[in-house]
Amino acid sequence: MNKILLFAFLFIRLLANGQNSERSLSSENWQFKNSKEDKWLSAKVPGTVHLDLMDNHMIPDPYKDENEKKVQWLENEDWDYQTQFAISAKELGNKNIDLVFDGLDTFAEIYLNGKLLKKTDNMFRKWTVPAKQYLKQGENSLQIKFKSPVNTGKELAKKIPFALPESPRSVVRKAQYQFGWDWGPRLVTAGIWKDVRLSFWDQARMEAVKIEQLKITDKKAELAIHTDIFTEKGGKYTVAVNG
């Protein structure tokens, strides 16, 4: 039975990928800086501002002694991240190229070759941004500008005609423990906390594939497949599954 389910899982993965391909940008040479400053420092993706500052010996370990108090200023600052990456003629030949961010924490502006593509406001979701028309063969520049979650949260709270408890934390789609908990320090951070990648596809792509097991025996598994299919153009399509 395990072999049947493993085969089904691998088959669905192949079906979802089809002729599509992906390329991670997390391993590129990333840099970051305080938006008020000019000097860029080395950064790691996935990561956070606190970890990058620690790696560059700019702040002490906030979990040691009373160092938590010494790093509270970070939450009121804006932070910029950037990298450069090359695109080949073959990659640029795909009909569609998306920039995919699995996690941005939290209020960010995404710039590709100087063009603002997207503003984000939710740490917990994936952001998929069409990028084909803004890419060029050769070197490309990607920059993510993070706004202070505390300052932005305060501005959002002002738009609500009544007072909310735990404001501005309560109006920010961000890990709430970062604002301090009984078991942890207050470390309201920012950064690219999950993978960044390029997704190449032509006619269609599948997302959110879910396999529902209906029946299973030693020789046969009956499955229901649920998925979202995104196409280049609207219309009627037929999906064929060849066993």
pLDDT recorded at residue 92: 97
Using DSSP's 3-state secondary structure scheme, residue 89 falls into: helix
pLDDT in tens, 161-200: 998 898 899 999 999 999 999 999 999 999 999 999 999 9
pLDDT recorded at residue 1: 43
pLDDT recorded at residue 115: 98
Domains of the chain, each with CATH number or no CATH? 1-19+208-228 (no CATH), 21-204 (2.60.120.260)
Rounded Cα distance between 227 and 211, Å, is 9
pLDDT recorded at residue 212: 85
pLDDT recorded at residue 241: 65
Tokens of 238: 């037929």
pLDDT recorded at residue 8: 52
pLDDT recorded at residue 233: 72
H or E element that contains 9? helix 2-17
pLDDT recorded at residue 219: 83
The secondary structure of residue 75, as a DSSP letter, is: G
Report, as ranges of residue numbers, the positions in the chain whose pLDDT lies below 50: 1, 7, 10, 14-18
Residue 79 near residue 190, CB atoms below 8 Å: yes
pLDDT recorded at residue 18: 47
Rounded Cα distance between 181 and 217, Å, is 48
Rounded Cα distance between 110 and 83, Å, is 12
Find the angle CA(226)-CA(229)-CA(233) to the nearest 5 degrees. Answer: 160
pLDDT recorded at residue 36: 97
Q: What is the pTM of this model?
A: 0.85
Rounded Cα distance between 208 and 225, Å, is 10
* Percent of residues, the chain, with pLDDT higher than 70: 87
Find the angle CA(197)-CA(202)-CA(203) to the nearest 5 degrees. Answer: 125
Rounded Cα distance between 64 and 80, Å, is 27
Find, among 83, 66, 43, 80, the residue nearest to 51 by Cα: 43
pLDDT in tens, 56-71: 999 999 999 999 999 9
Rounded Cα distance between 138 and 87, Å, is 5
pLDDT recorded at residue 14: 47
pLDDT recorded at residue 12: 52
Place of tokens 């970062």: 178
| Contacts of the segment 56-63: beta carbons below 8 A, 24+ positions apart | 62/185, 62/187, 63/185
